[in-house]
Amino acid sequence: MPLQQYIISVVTHPRLPLKDEMSLKEVLKRRLTKKEYKILDVLAYGKNTEEICTKLKLDTDRYNEMVLILVKKLNQEKLKQELAV
């Protein structure tokens, strides 16, 4: 459920309803890079920036850049369609 809630919070005009958690993870693993997916996963489960940067060995600037890229990808219409039921 946290993944669905996070996606709804960052996607502009999400197509609802979203797939179940397991199906979302499958789609996202295919469409995102490994690091983007890891960032999304830890963000969805409420980790803070410092913990994420340490875990993924990223500096804050690179982390912020990757989050922006991630949000842009999540807002692509084709991906929104894949995430919806």
As a whole number, the mean pLDDT across the chain is 93
Element (H, E) at 63: helix 60-74
Spatial contact of 4 and 18, defined as CB atoms under 8 Å apart: yes
pLDDT > 90: what percent of the chain? 79
pLDDT, position 7: 93
Read off the pLDDT of each residue in 8-31 and give the average, rounded to a whole number. 94
Q: Where are the domains of the chain?
A: 2-83
pLDDT > 70: what percent of the chain? 99
Q: Above 80 in pLDDT, residue 49? A: yes
2-83 folds as Arc Repressor Mutant, subunit A (1.10.10)
Whole-angstrom distance, CA of residue 72 vs CA of residue 85: 21
> What count of residues does the chain have?
85
